[in-house]
Amino acid sequence: MKADANEFYVDPADRERWRIIMDSEGSVGDFELQLRRRDGSVIWVRDSARVVRDKDERIVAYEGVLVDITRRKQAEWEARQANQQLAGWVGELEQRNREMSLINEMGDMLQSCPTAEEAYAVMAHWAEQLFSGHPGALCVIAASRNLVEPVAVWGAPALGELIFGPEDCWALRSGRTHLVEDPSSRLMCKHLTEALTGASLCVPMMAQGEALGILHLQVRNGPPGHERPTERVKPLAVAVADHLALALANLRLRESLRSQSIRDPLTGLFNRRYMEESLERELRRAERHHHNVGVIMLDLDHFNRFNNTFGHQAGDALLQAFGEMVRSRIRAEDIACRYGGEEFTMILPETTLAVTVERAQQLLEQVRDLRLTQRGRPVGSVTVSAGVAVHPDHGAAAEALIRAADMALYRAKAEGRDQVMVAEATDDRLAAEAS
């Protein structure tokens, strides 16, 4: 019905619901419904009405009271909106607290990691929890500064080359977070493949103004109309990258200090203190597993004469070259040390006497082929003498074993140098007395 401008229209569903109640119960109480004006505005009313019947029980009219409750409904709607917003804030706060708790736990574990390999495993474990559903990788710049390599990966990120250059990542080139929402963008990093779906996020890990690597995430798109996942993931990724950068910088500093404390700075080999500790450890392990431990004592022949002839700079170059040669020709489990001056020690775990002697002979041959130059001019060849002893044949204790190998070395030098001598019974007896 359209009577005039003040006439209201009732939703047909509300009208039908009101009629059914009236027909069945004869009245309605506190029935709430919307009334719409011709201009489109809406008011809420509460209706309390009853049926008026004649003597034949026929419905002749309805009577009741309509109360305008628009303000109350508006207040209720605003309250619901506020409650929903508050619930969202509480949920977001709980999520942030959980994330910060995970970050702190990750930081605590990283502080207890003695090696970079363990730290990378810890980072991958916690990153997978922090960025659940978003694959990614932790990529670290090599010491050479020209290569970047993934050291921790979670999910199945669409990475291209496993090793890439710093110039292939916009985040490393600019020193800022690089986010690309469209995988077809021209600004996509070159270290990614065309199979990438969703957004790409690269966060540089910076410590003391130096880039250590990137935290890379591949953020999958959410349902249409919802908040973009990158809006929530990006600040979290920046916070995690800051923590990881600090942890990596501290780890590198600890490794540098540890290396300085156990390595000889000139040759790069382990120092005498580390050798003594390592030999004690290897001998205990050999006792438990009934293995041999080979020891080679080495001494560069006529080193003082070489120093006096070509100068101390050439002598240092010789020691450096010898150390580099030894490092490149030993097994991962072997321990090569600078014992003092031009004297060196090699510990060979689980090595028999015959193999130890063979290794010593090989070293002698390799030293003979060593060629040095000083200011572009050759400085002649050099040789080395070696003494060999094996646990338990030539000594059970570390001091006795070193003493036996050292005495064999003295015999090698006394009998002409540039040769290998094996510890003898007299060496064993003297070593035992010395210990």
Distance of CA 332 to the CA centre of its chain: 24
Indicate left, alpha or beta for 313 from its phi (over 0: left) and psi (-120 to 50: alpha): alpha
Last residue of a domain, which of 204, 227, 259?
Answer: 259
CATH of the domain at 402: 3.30.70.270
Mark whether 51 and 109 lie in a shared domain: no
Domain of residue 108 covers 102-259
Mark whether 254 and 280 lie in a shared domain: no
Quote the pTM value.
Answer: 0.55
Label residue 152 exposed, middle or buried (CB < 10 Å: 0-12, 13-18, 19+).
Answer: buried
Mark whether 220 and 108 lie in a shared domain: yes
Q: Give the per-residue pLDDT at 4.
A: 43
Sheet holding 210-219, edge to edge: 148-154, 136-141, 210-219, 199-207, 178-180
What stretches of 69-196 adopt beta strand conformation (E)?
A: 136-141, 148-154, 178-180
Mark whether 323 and 237 lie in a shared domain: no
Mark whether 386 and 412 lie in a shared domain: yes
| Residue 342 falls inside a structural domain | yes
Mark whether 255 and 297 lie in a shared domain: no
| Residue 84 falls inside a structural domain | no
Q: Give the per-residue pLDDT at 189.
A: 87
Which residues of the chain carry a pLDDT beneath 50?
Answer: 1-5, 224-227, 429-435
Mark whether 41 and 123 lie in a shared domain: no
H or E stretch at 33? strand 27-36
Q: Give the per-residue pLDDT at 411.
A: 94
| Residue 22 falls inside a structural domain | yes
Tell me: the pLDDT tens digits for 362-384? 999 999 988 887 776 777 788 99
| Residue 79 falls inside a structural domain | no
Q: Give the per-residue pLDDT at 243.
A: 85
How far the first Cα of the chain sits from its last, in Å, is 118
Last residue of a domain, which of 68, 94, 119?
Answer: 68
Residues 6+ apart with CB under 8 A from 252: 116
| Residue 381 falls inside a structural domain | yes
Q: Give the per-residue pLDDT at 288.
A: 93
What is the CA angle 192-197-203, rounded to 5? 50
Point out which residues pair with 344 in neighbouring strands: 298, 338
CATH of the domain at 60: 3.30.450.20
**How far apart, in whole angstroms, are the C-alpha atoms of residue 200 and residue 194?**
12
| Residue 3 falls inside a structural domain | no
| Residue 244 falls inside a structural domain | yes
Q: What total of structural domains would you count in the chain? A: 3
Q: Give the per-residue pLDDT at 434.
A: 41
Mark whether 235 and 320 lie in a shared domain: no
Q: Give the per-residue pLDDT at 405.
A: 95
Mark whether 229 and 287 lie in a shared domain: no
| Residue 265 falls inside a structural domain | no
Mark whether 111 and 254 lie in a shared domain: yes
Mark whether 288 and 409 lie in a shared domain: yes
Mark whether 27 and 125 lie in a shared domain: no
